[in-house]
Each structure stands twice: as C-alpha cells, then as structure tokens.
Chain A
Amino acid sequence: MTMVEERVPAAAAPNVASTLNAREVSAWFGSHKVLDRVSLLMRPNEVTALIGPSGCGKSTFLRALNRMHELVPGASLAGTISLDEVDIYRDAVSVTEIRRRIGMVFQKPNPFPAMTVSENVIAGLKLCGLKIDRSTKDDLVAQCLRRAGLWNEVKNRLNDNGGALSGGQQQRLCIARSLAVRPDVLLMDEPCSALDPTSTRRIEETIAELREEITIVIVTHNMQQAQRVSQRCAFFLAGENAPGHIVETGPTEAMFTNPQDQRTLDYVRGRFG
C-alpha cells in the first residue's frame, strides 16, 4: 500500500463511470473448476445483473472482479479482467488500489461494530491511508449517506454504534461506506437477500440513483429485482458436473421477454432453479 496523502475533495465531482471487461475468465477452488471461460462487458452507466441458480459461479465471478477471489486459500483464476483497459491482475496496479476503485457490498450487512455510523462511512479512507480534514469529513459523511439514501434516517444518530441500526439501514450504511472511497465500479452480492421488502425497495432506489455515476454489477436471485434495477443481464448456469458459464447475455428487457436460449426462458419464467 502506498501511503499517498491524497486529499479528498469535499464536493465530489460526478464520476465518469468506468467499463469493466472480463474476457474468458475461469476460476478454480483447488482442483475444482467453478467457472468456465466467462466473458462479460459491464458498461458504464448501466446496472448489470448476474442471474442464475445457486452454485453457478455468479458470486465467484463477482469476487474475481475486485480480486477478492484470491483471498480463499487454494483459489486460482485464468483469463483477463480489465478496468478501463487496465488489466487488474497483470498490470502494475496494487491490489488495494484495485479494490478501492472497485467497491463491494456483501450479502450480509457488515458494518464495523467498533465504529460509529459516521466513522463507518469514512472507514474506507482511513483504511486506505487517506487523510481527511475535519471539515471535509462532515460534508463527506453527509454526502455519502445522502447518496445511499440513509441520511434522513440517521442524521441524528451519527455517533451511534454502526451495529445499532436495522438490517436495511446497515446495508445502506455499507453502501455509503463503499461510496466514500469514490469507487468507479460497485459490485453488489445479493445485497437485499437478508432484508425485508421495504428496505429492499429503498436499496433498489439507491441503485437507480447511483447508476448515473457508477458502473454497478449486482448478483440477485430475485427475478423481479433484476428486471427492476438492471439494464443488462447475464444468465449463469452450471451443469451437473460442469463448471458455471454464461448461457446468455443481453438487455434485461430482451432477456425477460424474448430470450434466445430455452434454458434462459425456463429460468426467468421460474421453471427451474
């Protein structure tokens, strides 16, 4: 990690969203191959939804996109993943820099329990070794919480413990936390699966608002959700003993109304999976 004392601008200029391009990505856990030559272009200003039954490699693919896959002992990977033409695995960019630029929101909300709400929001900056002024701090906290759609609910509880919020609020706090380091891409791994419908709707609204600035990739098991939030879909499927691969990709609209592949049709109609 390079201890660059970057200054964080107070008012964030709108991001120019980035393109994330995965080409022929395969992944293994030990000798077990879980992902077979997946290629997917994740375009700026679009929400790309990864859909498919459990165990088809969606989450593995997502974790490969910001180099979290390699944290599992024995994991390996082949192929190319590039962020705006920078190969994130081969070019001389540090892992921490990649992960800062490609943020991630997890299935289970995981705010840092030892930190307050506002400390949670700026935790990423401290973790990256970025300095921040006291005055810009408050602005940044407010701005990130607003973008995550949480500001009105917690503006009077900024010094409460992060774990004291409700599940849906915790998840939005995690989104705010990811936004604070100004990522180009946000990866979301079933962000609503542990939440109630109201919180889910709130987060879906947040996603829609964020789409203007950030490239978003979301894994979801909920077909309606995929239809609501995404512009583009990729359908993953794994065979009996075969690793997961992409069956079909396309605009969400087309995928749900007129898919090219019979299996996609069956899946989106709820016939299996």
Chain B
Amino acid sequence: MIRSTLLAATALACGTLAAQAADRTLTISVYGFAQDEFSEILYKPFEEQCGCEVVVETGNSVERLAKMEANREGPVIDMAVLSTHDALAANRAGLIDTIDTSKLSNYDKLYDIAKDPLGDGTAVGYTFYATSIVYRSDKVTVDSWADLFSDELKGQVAFPNVTTNQGPPALWMLGKAMGESDPTLAGAISEVGEKRDDVVTFYVRSSQLVQLMQQEEIWAAPIGRFAWKGFADMDLPIAWATPEEGQTGGMNVMVVTKGSSNRELALEFMDYWLSTPIQTALAEGLVDSPANAEVEVSPEVADNLTYGAETVDSLDLIPADVWLDNREGWLSDWNAKVGQ
C-alpha cells in the first residue's frame, strides 16, 4: 500500500515538474550560424539554470520579420536578434516592446553604444563587428577606402554587394574617402558603377572570398572582422587595413516581441546572454565579439574579434534610420549603375 502510494506520489511529482518545464518554454529567433557552439555555451546551460526549454528558430532577418508580422496578434517568438536597422524596422512596425533594463543585471557592463542603439529602449546590442579591407600586403598597400579603386588593384578587388550587410558600410566609407557624407550613397555607388569592370565580383558571402584570395583571383576586399580568421589562417601575407577614414561595421541587437507571454523569461535569457561568463565563452569560441566591456580574452583571441573599448569607439556605423530609410533607394541606384 505504502509502495503504491509512493509510486503514485512520485508519478504525480514528475508529471507536475514536466508540466512546469513545458509551461516555461522560451522561443527565440536567431541567425543560423554557429548553432552548435551557441547550444553548448548558451542554450543548454540556460535551460539547466531556468528549468525551462529553449526553442530555437533560425533564419535570415527578412524571414524573422515576416514571421513576427504574420503572428502579430498571437506572437510565437518571444525574443529575437536582429541587425540594428532590422530592429528599427520591427520597431516602426510595432512588433517589439520596450526592454525593462532594470531586470538586466548585466546591462551596466555593456559598452555605451550597445546600451540603447535605437534610442527608445527597445533594443540592446549583444555583439558588433568592424568592417575594413583585407589585402595582400606583398602586392599592395591599402591606407584609404579609395585605394580599393587604385590602378594597382584594378581587376584584383572583390566588393560586397549592396544587398549584404557589408555592402552599405563599405559604400559609406568609400563615400567618406571621396569627401561625401550623403546618406543616399549616390557618389559612392556611381564610383563603383564607373569602376564596375575593374571589380572581379560583387560578393554575397564572405566565406567565398577566402577561396578567391587563395586562388589569387583577388588581392583585396572589404570584409567583416568575423570573417578574418579564414584569411589569417591562409599561407599568404594578408593584412587588415586601418584606413585613414576609419573602420565601419555593424551591430546586432536583442529585442522582445510585443505581446509575448514569456516576457520575464525572455529578459532572464537576455541577461544570461549578456553576462560576463557567457560573453567571454562566446568570444573565446570566436562565435561573437563581446558587447560586455568586462570580458577579457587573450591577445590571440582578441586578434580575431572586434574587441576593446578603443576599437568599439572608433567604429563609424551607419545609423539604423539612415540604413532603413535609404535601403530601397540604394538597391535601385545600385541596380541601375552597377547591376547592368
């Protein structure tokens, strides 16, 4: 009798625990890269800590925004990561909510530019990257963004397509090198259009560039720092330029879906992601550059990341509203001048 009662009680307890775990399910939508590393470093330890389940959806920003829009009335995603400009698009569409930063114990540890990138408390930066030019140091020297179109590099350059996250920042800096700061990027796009035949390819994936550099198809290309390791590991003299106009880049942010029923859990997860141990582990795994200023890594690891207050402060980023308001115009201007 006692045994059967114990069994029944155990079964009941297990059932209740299972029900609780199932109740606490957090659905996140993130970029598809390095998910094995994210699972080991972030998702699994968080699940153990919160006794909840983290459901991970991956895809590009457009798919993520489309899904958030389609489920506006009954959100299926609790928390998402986006580029700053896509977060602004979500913000303008009324899809994201203000983040209660008092619940983020690690908020004060962030670099200032990551704290409130949209200016209204709806996003928090968790990683960024610098964008500059990689080049064959035995063939050329690159001191300015304008050097991409020098005679030395004629027919030896890959330039990011305007449709990529590196495209507009590269055009932004090329415009600055030409003495322009027009957000339509008209001058820079015209310059690329005129020099179109001198460009080997307008690349879409930076992973493709390593092979092109190895095959000596190209000697230089603007890339994000996250892709640097592939070049650094090559048996060729490759350098990372520090152009006189400075480096540009991008930032990714976390947002909370408006109407999410798991708001508290989403904030708990975001705080965990921003914590010093997790940001350090992600940095050491070369997964993401830290937005947490307390993170300390070895010089070897730092060399592969966008790391340190000085680097972060020096980044000349395109403001999210400029990006969003001009994106369509950049694309049609690019297609008219460069695409044909």
B is a partner of A: no
Interface, chain A (partner B; CB < 8 A): none
